[in-house]
Structure 1
Amino acid sequence: MLNRFQNKWVGTVAALAALSIAVSGCTRPATDNSEESGGLVRIAVGVDPSYAPIFLADREGMFQAAGLDVQVIQTEGGAAGAQNVVAGTSELSGNADSTALSVMAANPSLRALGVFQESDRYFQVVLRNGVEPKSIKTLGVFPGIGLYFTNQYLASLGIDPATVTLVSTSPPEQPALLARGDIDGFLSFDPWVTQSVNTGGRVVATTGDFGAKYAQWIIASDNWLSANEETAGKVFKVISEASAIVNSDPARAATAIAASIQMDPTEAADRVTQIDFGGRGFTDDDVERANELVAFFRAQGKISADIDPSAVLLSGWFEQNAT
């Protein structure tokens, strides 16, 4: 039987990938709910281990100890968190760079405050036994960041993506498709990677092997942030402190994850070791990567509105407010 994490794979997929859904779903300006919240800060998260620092801080009372009134709101992940901020039902959200940029394109009042986790190894390339990278003919691909990473991987091999048949899939479908020989491989994350390895597949690369990675950002509306900057900084500082605990004590993080999303602790501990947690401000590299994502998805027709990453990524904000 699939556990809750597996049943809600979109919590991670969408958090890292749901570009196409996000653009059409939210066009209303973010709501200024600073008066309505009364000091309450609602953080929208997905249902997967990538939100470990927030789960840990909530479970262990770290927000409360910092004098904060924080409520963690679980969503199906992906664009849903940022859409909560747009709707005014959350003050903050955690979103992958690809998803955040798509929502920002449709809602220009959203701002990214900084990074709270990133990884160049969470996504892995799996090929069917007997298939070599240079002989790939068919790949399973899910939309958004999955397509972006797949294109980057093929380009790193000197393969024109147009010469490879890309089969639209969801991550849960990929292991069965690979085992049947319907696809030569796919680029995805656990538990789907491990399932495929157990049924005749093998890992041949991680995104880091071809210079790719993703990051997750903390998102807020400009209106709320302008009235609550000190509070936002305190919340992000707690998330950063919790991130250090996750990095140093995966078992402790796994306990918080298991309690928050009913995931097996051993599985949770394994997942968090594939991710680098830690609060930090934006760098020139972050802005450059954001520009590359915008260019790619605009070429794919997934982002139509103008968006300038250097304007919506608040460089220097984290250093000034959350350290």
Structure 2
Amino acid sequence: MGVSPWPGYSSHYVAMAKDLFKPQGLTVKEIYFASQTESDAAFLAGKVDLNWTGLPNAVPQFSRDPGIQVVFQCDYSNGADGILGRGIKTAADIKGRKVARENVLFEELLLRRYLDKMGLKREDVTTIDLSAGDSATAFASGKIDIAVTYEPWMTKAAKEGKGEIVFSSKGTNVIPDGVTARKDFVEKNKEAVVAYFKAIDQAVKLIQTDPAAVAEPIAKGLGLTAAEVPAQMGGVKLYTLQDNKSITFNRSDPMNLFDSLDFASKTAMGIKLIPNAIDINTVMNDGVIKVAS
């Protein structure tokens, strides 16, 4: 299991800490990565079986390996991803500047949304490739004035760097997060995968009903104190198994994942990250959700 720091992955942190997998007859080996890029690379290399990831990131993976599918949406970012700015008020303050960001698709999508809002084009800025954590650190230390990043680093860096969050994912479905797996792995291990998500669903409900009781394991997963957890969790909307059935895999719901990934796919093709658009129908696998819920 590959996982990295992100508030939306809190259900995994809680399930591990509370040993919710044991009643399901599962032993789960977690491999914790410092960044999303490292986790994604390990998944592509076959070093982890399931990967918690920003789902737009999976679009290039779908192109490289048609066997990769989305099996669960854990959350969507509702303000926990954003762009930090210092002295940024107008388009003129941005044009020609350097922007630090991790070279992953979901950060590129967010940056493009912001530039579009400001009436600018992508070529109006240049980017420096740093991990989300390092981008936040560069901003906090004053080395750069614009950075794309996310929690658990964003709010702290804005404060330490005497800047502000000039744009965020709040009120959008640009950045959904979830779990990817290879189709053949799921087919061969469906019972275990179903059991895993049953435990994850229990963890989501614990977080929703008694957040104080699970603040410590979430804090550990994010590298923060328990007191900092509530603010972090306010930036994501966690999904249960039922939410996956009624929203994620339901085309009639305006927040469905099909439309979000289709937008990511078309953007990726437009910037020549992938050669052809992805057929989203082939990468959405609701088989586990149907059985688990």
Residue of structure 2 in register with 1:240 after alignment:
201
Aligned amino acid, residue 212 of structure 2:
A
Cα distance, 1:77 vs. partner?
Answer: 4.1
Residue of structure 2 in register with 1:222 after alignment:
183
5 Å matches for 1:1-323?
Answer: 43-82=1-40, 84-85=42-43, 87-129=45-87, 131-135=88-92, 136-137=94-95, 138=97, 140-142=99-101, 143-144=103-104, 145-162=106-123, 164-170=124-130, 171=132, 172-174=134-136, 176-177=138-139, 180=142, 183=145, 185-190=146-151, 191-208=153-170, 211-259=172-220, 263-279=224-240, 280-281=244-245, 282-284=249-251, 285-304=256-275, 307-314=278-285, 316-323=286-293
Q: Distance in 1 between matches of 2:196 and 2:223?
A: 25
Residue of structure 2 in register with 1:32 after alignment:
none
Pairwise CA RMSD of aligned residues?
A: 2.8
Q: TM-score, normalised by structure 2?
A: 0.81
Cα pair distance change 1:180/1:307, threshold 3 Å: same
Structure 1 SS opposite 2:191: helix
Measured against aligned partners, the alpha-carbon deviations of 1:119-144 in whole angstroms (never above 9, x if no partner) come to 12111233323x31443322514222
Q: Distance in 1 between matches of 2:273 and 2:140?
A: 28
Contact 1:105 1:303 survives alignment (8 Å): yes
Structure 1 SS opposite 2:275: coil
Contact 2:174 2:260 survives alignment (8 Å): no
Contact 1:179 1:196 survives alignment (8 Å): no
Measured against aligned partners, the alpha-carbon deviations of 1:42-82 in whole angstroms (never above 9, x if no partner) come to x2212444321111111112111223232222234435445
Aligned amino acid, residue 243 of structure 1:
V
Q: TM-score, normalised by structure 1?
A: 0.74
Greater Cα shift, 137-146 or 233-242? 137-146
Cα pair distance change 1:123/1:303, threshold 3 Å: same
Q: Distance in 1 between matches of 2:177 and 2:237?
A: 11
Aligned amino acid, residue 150 of structure 1:
L
Contact 1:44 1:75 survives alignment (8 Å): yes
Q: Distance in 1 between matches of 2:220 and 2:185?
A: 30
Aligned amino acid, residue 150 of structure 2:
F
Contact 1:46 1:76 survives alignment (8 Å): yes
Contact 1:79 1:95 survives alignment (8 Å): no
Contact 2:8 2:76 survives alignment (8 Å): no
Cα distance, 1:305 vs. partner?
Answer: 5.9
Q: Distance in 2 between matches of 1:120 and 1:255?
A: 22
Q: Distance in 2 between matches of 1:303 and 1:202?
A: 33
List runs of 5+ in structure 1 lacking aligned partners.
Answer: 1-42
Greater Cα shift, 274-283 or 52-61? 274-283
Structure 2 SS opposite 1:70: coil
Structure 1 SS opposite 2:161: coil
Greater Cα shift, 300-309 or 211-220? 300-309
Cα pair distance change 1:186/1:47, threshold 3 Å: closer
